[in-house]
Structure 1
């Protein structure tokens, strides 16, 4: 297996531009948690995301992208997302291998690095009520705003059919 170099934020922006997808990015000090990112709310409108990289016992991986303050019941979410068992958090090595990001920078934009389609992308239905969705652009020192429908278009362009489900309590 050849080691592929993860794409950079610049690669992501070029990909979005190539699709004709409008996006806006604000750079800020690195944030590792939702709590740390709250100070940015006044500057960045729209739905802000929290991402959970999980796997089931058959090593099926899922990225759950939900609204930042939403609660996901990890004991029962497998029933909603079609996992083979209860889910647990995926290891940082798999996160880097599949999505090209480190913990703290997890994002739906990681789909650009998942060329083997190892991850199922699940977008929470409540998050998708927002016209604008905000995600890290593969690093946690910036936030990229993109239209809800454009996020779905981006995922489709990477070969991922996003699943929109209510996964939050």
Structure 2
């Protein structure tokens, strides 16, 4: 899929920055990739039974307390979803996760969670289904994208470790 063409159809035309492959936020730190906007971390989660899946967007430096988040949301033990689940539900490989992967969740099986810490942010860093580029997606465009893909974002106060 040409994600850029699909975004353009929805009148979403963010700046695109090409760069070496970045698999984690730490990779960007090591390469000293300096981009304007809000860096985010994307966590693909599942409940204990593997019946419910969530894509959580949070600050790139935040250490999420999954146990506390599970209790807060009344979900049996949140954990990281497997690579196989990532491929099945979002159609991508590890290291390529971003909100834009929700375009592949045509069945609407993945819930979108946004950390309230991001509520004042803008120009969110998002991989366009590959980790060799970053889009700077405005807050309005991110919400418009979620609407177009049928994902109602839910803003949460995400607990931090420590």
1:73 is the counterpart of 2:65: yes
1:21 is the counterpart of 2:19: no
- How many residue pairs get aligned? The number is 157
1:156 is the counterpart of 2:147: yes
Residue in structure 2 matched with residue 100 of structure 1 by the alignment: 91
d(CA) in 2 for partners of 1:69, 1:52: 12
TM-score if structure 1 supplies the norm length? 0.88
Residue in structure 1 matched with residue 79 of structure 2 by the alignment: 88
Residue in structure 2 matched with residue 3 of structure 1 by the alignment: none
d(CA) in 1 for partners of 2:21, 2:90: 19
Output the aligned Cα RMSD. 1.3
TM-score if structure 2 supplies the norm length? 0.91
Q: How does 1:108-123 map to 2 (within 5 A)?
A: 108-123=99-114
Unaligned stretches of 5+ residues in structure 1: 1-6
d(CA) in 2 for partners of 1:17, 1:168: 35
Misfit runs of 4+, over 4 Å:
none
- The verdict on how the C-alpha distance between 1:165 and 1:27 changes in structure 2, with shifts beyond 3 A counting, is same
Q: Deviations over 1:38-82 (max 9, x none)?
A: 2112xx1111111111111242000111111112101111234x3
d(CA) in 1 for partners of 2:120, 2:71: 22
